[in-house]
Each structure stands twice: as C-alpha cells, then as structure tokens.
Amino acid sequence: MSAAKKLNLTLKVWRQKNGNAKGSLETYPLKDISPDSSFLEMLDILNSELINKGDSPVSFDHDCREGICGSCSLYINGEPHGPSRLVTTCQLHMRSFEDGETIYIEPFRAKAFPVIKDLMVDRSAFDRIQHAGGYISVNTSGNTQDANAIPIEKEDADEAFYSAACIGCGACVAACKNASASLFVAAKVSQYALLPQGKIEAKDRVLNMVKQAEKEGFGPCSNTGACEVECPKGISIENIARMNREFLSASISK
Amino acid sequence: MSLDSKIPKGPLKDKWTNYKNNINLVNPANKRNIDVIVIGTGLAGGSAAATLAELGYNVKAFCYQDSPRRAHSIAAQGGINAAKNYQGDGDSTYRLFYDTIKGGDYRSREANVYRLAEVSTNIIDQCVAQGVPFARDYGGLLDNRSFGGVLVSRTFYAKGQTGQQLLLGAYSAMNRQIAKGKIEMFNRHEMLDVVIVDGKARGIIARNLVTGEIERHSAHAVVLGSGGYGNVFFLSTNAMGSNVTAAWKAHKKGAYFANPCYTQIHPTCIPVHGTQQSKLTLMSESLRNDGRIWVPAKLEDAEAVRKGTLKPTAIKEEDRDYYLERRYPSFGNLVPRDVASRAAKERCDAGFGVVDNDTNEGVFLDFAAAIQRYGKEEALVKGISDASKEEITALGEKVIETKYGNLFDMYKQITDDNPYKTPMRIYPAVHYTMGGLWVDYNLMTNVEGMYAIGEANFSDHGANRLGASALMQGLADGYFVLPYTIGDYLANDIRTGKISTDTPEFEAAEKKATDEINKLINNNGTKAVDYFHKKLGLIMWNKVGMSRTTEGLNEAIAEIASLREEFYKDVRVPGEANELNQELEKAGRVADFLELGELFARDALEREESCGGHFREEYKTEDGEALRRDAEFAYVSAWEYTGKPSDAILHKDKLDFENVELKTRSYK
C-alpha cells in the first residue's frame, strides 16, 4: 500500500433533480484524496463535504463495492466505469488519476436507461429482457435428476460460466453508439445455449429476448466492439456471434 | 411466552420425512387465493419467492436494490457445501450434520441442522437443472474443493463467483414467475414495518425509494429473507446497503431476536487502509486450500516488513512462523474461521503483524509453495522433464490463475500489490452474523405467520458458521424447507380471503413509519449519518469484536446508548421525505443499528462463556482456546423487546443434544 501523495481534483458532476428535471454539469473542487481510496470513496468524501455545507449530496447507485453486484455505473471521462480495463467503478482506485486532473462524471446514457436522479439510471429494462426468457423452465421439486447424470464437457461448462459472469451493469449499452444491449442479451442466450439443460427452450428464448430488447428501445448491434472493451467482466463479443447464429436458425425453423 | 421449537418426534434421520408426510397441504385452487410477502431477494428470499410462486401462491417480493439480482448473496465467493460424496472421501449426510454442529461449537439445533444436511444434495441437483455452470473436471463431472473445519471435499463452486451463479439461478427462477404474473416484484422498496392483525403477521409498510411514497401491502404471511446485520460494525464485507431494519422492526413488533452476539469475523480479508475507507473486501476461504498463512518469527523482521525495508520473500523459511500449521497440525490452514481469526489477532497483538497501519493488523497468505507444487505437477503432465525454475513458476502461476484468478485480480486492484509475486496481506473482518430472528423448526418466528429464512434467522450455524454453508442454508430454506412448512400454516387460511389494508392496524403502522421519517428529516442537526455509523462501528469493533470482556462490554452498552441519544439530537438528513433520498435511507438503517448494537453487547455480556465467534477473555483454556460452559449456557438466548434495548427480556430456548456428544472442539 503506497503512501503516495494526495490528489487535488476538479470534478464535473451531472446533477439532475429527478427524471423530469433538466440536468447540468456542476463543478466541485476536491482536495487531499488518497490514491488508495476507491472512486466511490472519493464521491463519499465529496458528499460529506456537500452535506456539511448544507447542499444536497450526489445520488449514485452502489452496493457491494466488490465489483460483482452490478449496481455501480458512472460514465467517467467518457468511458463507462472509467479508464481502467476489466474493472467496475467501485473497484476503480484513485491511483488511476493524476494530481490536478479534471474528472467528468455522468450517468450511463441510453434511451432505455432513463435518469432517475443525478447519476442514477433506471435499468429495469434489463430485468424485463430476462423475464422474456432468461431462465430454464424447471420447477423446484427436489426430484430433478442427479447433478452428475449428464456430464458436460469442461470446455462448454467453462464457456457457459464466462458468459454467465455478466453482472448486468449496462456498461455495454453505455459504450455503444447505438445503445445496443446485444452483449447483455447474448451473454444470457449463450450461457443456456452452451448447456444441455438450456437447449430445449433455446429457440423461443433467443427470439423472445431479442424482441424484448428491441421493444425496450435498445438499438441494433453497431459491430464496433466497444462493448467488449468496456465490459468490466470481459464478456466476449463471440457471444454476440453465437446469439446471431441462434437467432438465425430459430427464425428459420420457427 | 414460552418458546416451543416444535421439533418433530422420532429418530433424527426420520424427522423431516415424517414431518412432510403429516403436514396439512393447501389444494392448488386455494393457493391462488393466498398472498405471501417475501422481503429480500438473496439466495433465501429469491429461492423462496420463486418456489412459492411455482406452487401457486401469489407472491409479492421486495428488495431495496434496483434489481433482485443484486442482493448481496451475489458476492459470496468460495462455494456451496453438499453431502454428495462424489469424491468418495467418506462424506455423508451425518458427517455434514456433525461437522456443522461441531463447527458451530454446539450452539445450534440438531434437528434443523440435520434437515439442512439432508436437503443439501437436492440443491446441487436443482441448480444444475437450472443451468448453473458449476466447475467441472475433464470427464465432464462436477468438481469439488475443501473448506475450513472439515476433512472432506464437499464444496461445489463456480470459480470465485459461486454466490453470483447461484443467485442468478434463483433470479432466473423468479423471472419465470414474474413473467407469469405469479410474483409481483417491488424493486427499490424498503420494508419499514410489519403489520400485525389479531396476533398474526398480515402485511408490511414499505417505502418506495424512488418516490418516497409510503405503501401498505397485505398478505396471509410475511417471510423475512433480509440477511444479516454485520454492518452494525460499519466496516464489514457486507454490501453498503445491507441492514437490520426489516428484522429489527419485526423484533420491535414481538419477534424474539436470538443470539445477536454470534458474529463471524472472517480471517481472510484485505486489511483496513485508512479512515476514509467505506467497506472491507473478502478474499475467499477457498484460498486457504493453497495459501499458507504466516508471520515473521522474529519481531525485528516484522517491524522491518512494516517499515518496508524488508521484503517478505526475503525472509528465510526458518524465520517464518506458519502459526496455524504449528498450532493445529491436523487441520492446518483449514481450521474454522473463528479459530483462524483469533490466531491472527493473537500474533498481531504480540507484535508480529505485517501491515503498516495504526494497529499493525495483518498477516501473510502465501502462494509461493502452491505455485511450485502445481508448476512441477504441470511440467510432469506436459512431459517437460528439464523445466527451469522460471518455467515451473510460470506453469504454477497459470494453475493458480485458473483457480483464483478473479480474486487475485481484485486483490491487485485494491492494494496495488501483485499476489503472484509477493504474499497477500490479510486480516480478519466482520463477515456474517449467525444470530438473527428466533425461529422454530418451521422457520416461523414466535409471531404467527412471520417467517425468517437464510442469514436473517439464527438456527443452523450455532456460534460459528463453516465456510460454504451460508449458500447451502439460504437455498435449503428457500427452495426446500419453507415451501413445506408455510403450507402447513396457510392451510388454515384458505377461507380468510383477501386481507384489507384499510384497517386501524395498517393505519397505525403507516403513521409510525411516516412520523419516524419526518423526525429524521426535520432534525436539522449538524452531523451526517456516517459520522454516527463510524463511531458505532469503532465501539463495536474495539469492545464487541474478536475478544470481549465484562468491562469492555459494559462500556460499549453505555457508549452506544449515549451515541444513540446524540444521533437523535444532532443528525442532519438533507433533502425531503418525498423524493429519492439516500441519506434518509441510511439514517433509518443506522437508527436501527444503534438499537441493535446495544442488545448485541448485552447478549455478549450475558453469555459468560466462550463459544465459536463469541470469545470472552475471562473464559479460555490454558492454551488460549474458547472455553464453553455447557451446563450453564447450552441454550439459545432469545430476546424480547419491551420498549428499549436495555429493558429487553431474555428467554432461554434450551438446546438438547440427543445424537451428538458435546466435546471441546479440537482441530489440533
């Protein structure tokens, strides 16, 4: 743990009272930030200063602060989850920034992610896409077959895991110039398409989930690959290729 | 009120089967007329909501997060236990039961624990059927690893993200029911009170966190799957929003709070780095499969390491103290969490800590030996006979990366240190609370129709939880236990009809919730909520943490009571009640922690023995191990609320051990 020099920063933060209000960037100087602090701890410090001054603190989503719940978002200096790769905002540390730097902090922007307040957006569209088919239809009975009854090739199981590692944060949407949810949808479609348990409903699943994503206002895949670059969990765009194959074959046979 | 744990009669192994054969069932047509509220959507709440909806009940599920998928079960890393005995290493239902009772230091209920072990195997079957991608071996079968406190490999895992994968499984089962309209989902809602009508839980008051609106919701039963209360310590591995509010409000409405002082301090977390820190991060216990824990054997080496003038890798083998291997040769680095945490504290208190902070609290978790061992193995497998040291190291690091890659990345991100090249520095941190709402065998609290499942109840882990057992308990309760037991209760409700929210009970509960919010908003003090939360956390950590004394606990009780008074005089909550207001949310939660904290310390004071995570300095053996007093304290402390924490009344729910002999735990 470094005892490096403290940082003095200028923050430009998006403030918006609620979904109907007009928002704007406000400027806040912030001093003496430890490079060992996380980005959200830096915002905690800003908020405690604002509260002490009688101003209203900045609202932002966050919960586990371990990079796994997917609550945190933020568009930092023009990138979802900021400048580091394979890292969520809550795991981003201030040592990634320079002393004297100006940092722009905005919400994820997409038509399907309306702003609720300040830096918080409504990502319930992702839930609704999952309702459309992000599951295997098996009841809880305790009488399913033994877990080892169907061996699954290690490679497929691992691949399914990498797809399933998506945390549903929405960075892929925020990074895409079309605000497409392709990477998110593809990750779920892939997880099930790779496993024998998911094959039975595979066709309906891909058709319904893709349809729902369009309905929510997410755009078509831009093919630029920005989503893969910005994804904090390294979800590969190969998933999108797999989803497209699944979608095509389902469209032909259904 | 006397407590009846309602344990079925008969031999241990037949209790659950006989119970299921004799309970009342609700016919499918009647289930459609019955509503159930579920608070929390982690492994317990999520799996319960999905299963109850599959059965046909109308479920209303609530979570404070923006999606049920974000509940903090998602952060569980290492794995989930099940007595599958796929490894053929001697595991069985009985052995999982026995390990859990022993691991809990003989302070849990035999019948509940046996049932947990019994249904554990169904969980794995169920999750695989749902498409949970567990780790597999090259033959395509499920892989296992080992956790602390046991001598078998019974832990199923998905890299270091097992909780995530299991929660996404439960979330997918919920989604299927949400799509069918059988679950009505309330995201960004917080329960503020439970409503009791004629002695039965019949609904809740909730706040819509986006609009600030106070809502009434009725049901025939209320299930709390709202998690634990580790955030009473401010710094913990819990999520920032994890709170005790739902359970505490239930307690204030009559539900007994059991064993609040049983807290798990997890041995392997990243040490505290500064006063601005907001939370602590766990490094999975699975790392103790391969990592060796040590401190320098010489005080001057420890000091040089802290100053940064000596690199840990430069300390010779004979100058290292692998204190767990030294003190506990048979379990070594895989002793249970409470034992490992206390041993770390003992070394650091003696001056051997390796982290340069106020208290020098930190020890090494070292993978160098494992990297060499795996590297040599890989070289043999790959047929490289003359592998150089560098090649072996590279091969070994690759193996470690596949096993724990995400944890190593996380460590590097937080500390800026490379754990492949230098040992991790770790220290114990608050992680889990074994205590919770008192429940009977049916998982019902002493308030009729109010259930508590998962970490929110107290029943299965005694005074110390074994690794990879929280996920098991959450899913066991939600998928396989509650759906039966709640049916037995609801069978009496088929003629009740819809519960009205237009009654004096709902009116009164709503008014109380609104008044409490207005009081906080209008307080206009001078200090932010975090100021009080941090102060409370320090009192708890220093006086009600890993070691407790009569003197310290008495001080803590007085300090918490006066801090609570100061909070209500001087807290400042900016903004309005009728808008999204995160400071207001925090204020409500901290207000409840300030009450719970006092009861917590009282419970610790009353329990004049050491057991599991509860360690009283006055009660230890000659070699510093926990000294239980079974004759006096083999009971569950169930506290009844009577107006304030200092007036709570203690009820003793005696623990009868018919199948296990009470012994001094030994991992030597």
pLDDT tens, position by position, A241-251: 999 999 999 99
The answer to whether residue A210 is domain-embedded is yes
Closest chain A CA to residue B70 = A69
Closest in B137, B210, B273 to A116, CB measured: B210
The predicted model gives A113-124 an average pLDDT of 98
What is the overall mean pLDDT for chain A?
Answer: 96
Residues A128 and A247 in one domain: yes
Residues B298 and B417 in one domain: yes
| Distance in angstroms (rounded) separating the CA atoms of residues A38 and A66 | 11
| Distance in angstroms (rounded) separating the CA atoms of residues A241 and A243 | 5
pLDDT digits (tens, 9 = 90+) for A202-243: 999 999 999 999 999 999 999 999 999 999 999 999 999 999
Residues B279 and B409 in one domain: yes
| Distance in angstroms (rounded) separating the CA atoms of residues B123 and B130 | 11
Q: Residue A151's domain is classified under what CATH number?
A: 1.10.1060.10
Closest in A18, A134, A157 to B136, CB measured: A157
Residues A63 and A152 in one domain: no
The pLDDT value recorded for residue A218 is 98
Q: Residue A35's domain is classified under what CATH number?
A: 3.10.20.30
To the nearest whole Å, the CA of A83 is away from the closest chain B CA by 13
Domain range for B551: 511-634
Buried b (16+ CB within 10 A) or exposed e, B586-602: bbbbbbbbbbbbbbbbb
Residues A200 and A92 in one domain: no
Asked if residue A254 has pLDDT above 90, the reply is: no
Pairing of strands B35-39, B221-224: parallel
Domain range for A72: 7-116
Contact status of B415 with chain A (Cβ, < 8 Å) = yes
The pLDDT value recorded for residue B310 is 96
Of A153, A161, A71, the C-alpha closest to B168 is A161
The answer to whether residue B219 is domain-embedded is no
The answer to whether residue B617 is domain-embedded is yes
Q: Do B416 and A36 touch (CB under 8 A)?
A: yes
Residues B424 and B522 in one domain: no
The predicted model gives A113-130 an average pLDDT of 98
Residues A65 and A128 in one domain: no
Whole-number percent of chain B with pLDDT over 90: 93
Contact status of B583 with chain A (Cβ, < 8 Å) = yes
Residues near B652 by beta carbon (within 8 Å), at least 6 away in sequence: B635, B636, B637, B638
Cβ neighbours of B485 (radius 10 Å): 22
pLDDT digits (tens, 9 = 90+) for B241-261: 999 999 999 999 999 999 999
The pLDDT value recorded for residue A66 is 93
The pLDDT value recorded for residue A68 is 96
Q: Residue B235 — pLDDT band, cuts 50, 70, 90? A: very high
DSSP string, B324-374: HHHH-TTTGGGS-HHHHHHHHHHHIIIII----STT---EEEE-HHHHHHH
Residues A46 and A141 in one domain: no
The answer to whether residue A152 is domain-embedded is yes
The answer to whether residue A2 is domain-embedded is no
Sheet holding B58-62, edge to edge: B183-186, B58-62, B35-39, B221-224, B450-452
The predicted model gives B69-87 an average pLDDT of 96
What is the overall mean pLDDT for chain B?
Answer: 96
Q: Residue B337's domain is classified under what CATH number?
A: 3.90.700.10
Residues A69 and A167 in one domain: no
The pLDDT value recorded for residue A1 is 43
pLDDT digits (tens, 9 = 90+) for B600-640: 999 999 999 999 999 999 999 998 899 999 999 999 999 99
The predicted model gives B388-395 an average pLDDT of 96
The predicted model gives B101-130 an average pLDDT of 97
* Domain end (from B430, B465, B491): B430
* Domain end (from B408, B430, B452): B430
* Domain end (from A116, A144, A162): A116
The answer to whether residue A109 is domain-embedded is yes
How many folded domains does chain B comprise?
2
The pLDDT value recorded for residue B78 is 86
To the nearest whole Å, the CA of B617 is away from the closest chain A CA by 33
The pLDDT value recorded for residue B137 is 93
Write down the pTM of the prediction.
Answer: 0.97
Size of chain A, expressed as the number of residues it contains: 254
pLDDT digits (tens, 9 = 90+) for A2-19: 456 899 999 999 999 999
Residues A143 and A112 in one domain: no
Question: Are the C-beta atoms of residues B174 and B46 closer than 8 Å to each other?
Answer: yes
* Domain end (from B388, B412, B430): B430
To the nearest whole Å, the CA of A223 is away from the closest chain B CA by 28
Residues A202 and A128 in one domain: yes
Rg (CA), chain B: 25
The predicted model gives B13-42 an average pLDDT of 97
The answer to whether residue B469 is domain-embedded is no
Asked if residue B1 has pLDDT above 70, the reply is: no
Asked if residue B302 has pLDDT above 70, the reply is: yes
The answer to whether residue B239 is domain-embedded is no
The answer to whether residue B599 is domain-embedded is yes
Residues B407 and B515 in one domain: no
The predicted model gives B299-321 an average pLDDT of 96
> What is the number of CB-based contacts under 8 A between chain A and chain B?
217
Residues near B193 by beta carbon (within 8 Å), at least 6 away in sequence: B204, B205, B249, B253, B509, B512, B513
The pLDDT value recorded for residue A3 is 53
CA angle A80, A81, A87 (to 5 degrees): 130
* Domain end (from A82, A116, A150): A116
Contact status of B86 with chain A (Cβ, < 8 Å) = yes
Whole-number percent of chain A with pLDDT over 70: 98
Residues A83 and A21 in one domain: yes
What dihedral angle (degrees, nearest 10) is formed by the CA atoms of A68, A70, A75, A77?
0
The answer to whether residue B612 is domain-embedded is yes
Residues A186 and A86 in one domain: no
How many folded domains does chain A comprise?
2
The answer to whether residue A217 is domain-embedded is yes
pLDDT digits (tens, 9 = 90+) for A35-82: 999 999 999 999 999 999 999 999 999 999 999 999 999 999 999 999
Residues A85 and A189 in one domain: no
Closest chain A CA to residue B170 = A135
The answer to whether residue A1 is domain-embedded is no
pLDDT digits (tens, 9 = 90+) for B647-660: 999 999 999 999 99
Q: Residue B581's domain is classified under what CATH number?
A: 1.20.58.100
| Distance in angstroms (rounded) separating the CA atoms of residues B287 and B468 | 13
The answer to whether residue A164 is domain-embedded is yes
The pLDDT value recorded for residue A140 is 95
* Domain end (from A116, A135, A169): A116
The answer to whether residue B475 is domain-embedded is no
To the nearest whole Å, the CA of A126 is away from the closest chain B CA by 9
| Distance in angstroms (rounded) separating the CA atoms of residues B215 and B224 | 18
